Amino acid sequence: MASPIYPTKPRRLLKWKTSSMASTRETRTLMVGMEQGTRKGPWTEQEDLQLVCYVSLFGDRRWDFIAKISGLKRTGKSCRLRWVNYLHPGLKHGRMTPEEEHLILELHSKWGNKWSQIAGRLPGRTDNEIKNYWRTHMRKMAQERKRNLHSFSSSTSSTSLSIETSTNRMENQEEVIFLLTMLEEKEQEVKVKVYPMDQLWNEIVTSDSNSGLSFKQYKAMEYSPLWEYCVESVWKVDDNEPNLIPCVSDLWSPTFSMV
DNA sequence: AAGCGCGTCAACCGCAATTAG
DNA sequence: GCTAATTGCGGTTGACGCGCT
């Protein structure tokens, strides 16, 4: 266990999502399982905070246990996914760097759709992220290639069948070499913006200067004991549902046995 | 301004593998 | 060793933003 104490990033400040999006999406699609009362759909900041706190306490292994004792109406599976793909400290967010893009292509040519294995070679990237990247970007490149081949074939009267066959298969080495070449060309055109965590935090601090938290407080949150942060901002948030979120002291009562 | 299509990405699902009892 | 529960993985879906018409 023992991920460092790490407050959840305010979602509204992340580059690729806006608060309006998150909230409307949530209200639209948030579903509650009829049988066990489990929640589905997008996670709220409140849920994120709760999950971070409980993972900090009990580690990131026993997800079913965490799901139960946290009061989150989520399955263990859902909690794990949220942690692994979004909340885990050290995750990089934002665009892939050219180096990462190269690595993904190379490793995929070697291992195929072994996303978790590939993710293991890209620190800070998740299998889900890589999978999404591959699907979207490679599809795009395949389309470009299709276009290129099509224009070539129309001038040389090649059959469309061979085009379809070649564009539908991404596994062979030639394909990867082609994609790598295209990548290199693209790198010349586009200056890729990378979002390391430090920069994210800086953005959070500067753009959230009206939130009441000073820069010092934000930085302190990175290193301060979990309890101070949780007790202040998490545990007593929902007055309407006092049973949903247990008191911190409850965690140490005999009801909950330590792992 | 409105509608449409596409790209992105978070989250779900089903199945396989692993672990606990 | 067996069974049930849990975790991990890969495929897929669907909501939303954005650019184009």
Min mean pLDDT across A31-40, A53-62, A128-137, A162-171 is at A162-171
Residue A33 CA, nucleotide C9 C1', distance (Å): 24
Average pLDDT of the segment spanning A58-72? 85
Average pLDDT of the segment spanning A148-166? 45
The pLDDT assigned to A145 comes to 65
pLDDT cut 70: percent of chain A above it: 39
pLDDT cut 90: percent of chain A above it: 0
Average pLDDT of the segment spanning A93-113? 84
Strand C footprint nucleotides (protein C-beta < 7 Å): 5-17
The pLDDT assigned to A117 comes to 87
List the domains of chain A with CATH numbers.
11-91+196-251 (1.10.10.60), 98-189 (no CATH)
What is the distance between the terminal CA atoms of chain A, rounded to a whole angstrom?
A: 11
The pLDDT assigned to A67 comes to 87
Which range has the top average pLDDT, A120-124, A170-174, A180-184, A222-226? A120-124
The pLDDT assigned to A144 comes to 66
Nucleotide nearest to A119 (CA to C1'): C9
The pLDDT assigned to A103 comes to 86
Nucleotide nearest to A139 (CA to C1'): B7
Average pLDDT of the segment spanning A163-173? 39
Residue A259 CA, nucleotide C17 C1', distance (Å): 43
Nucleotide nearest to A116 (CA to C1'): C9
Residue A245 CA, nucleotide B5 C1', distance (Å): 43
Question: Is the pLDDT assigned to residue A139 strictly greater than 60?
Answer: yes
Average pLDDT of the segment spanning A244-257? 35
Min mean pLDDT across A24-38, A72-86, A193-207 is at A193-207
The mean pLDDT of chain A is: 58
The pLDDT assigned to A177 comes to 58
Min mean pLDDT across A103-117, A121-135, A147-161 is at A147-161
Residue A10: band (very low, low, confident or very high) from pLDDT cuts 50, 70, 90: very low
Residue A181: band (very low, low, confident or very high) from pLDDT cuts 50, 70, 90: low
Average pLDDT of the segment spanning A196-211? 38
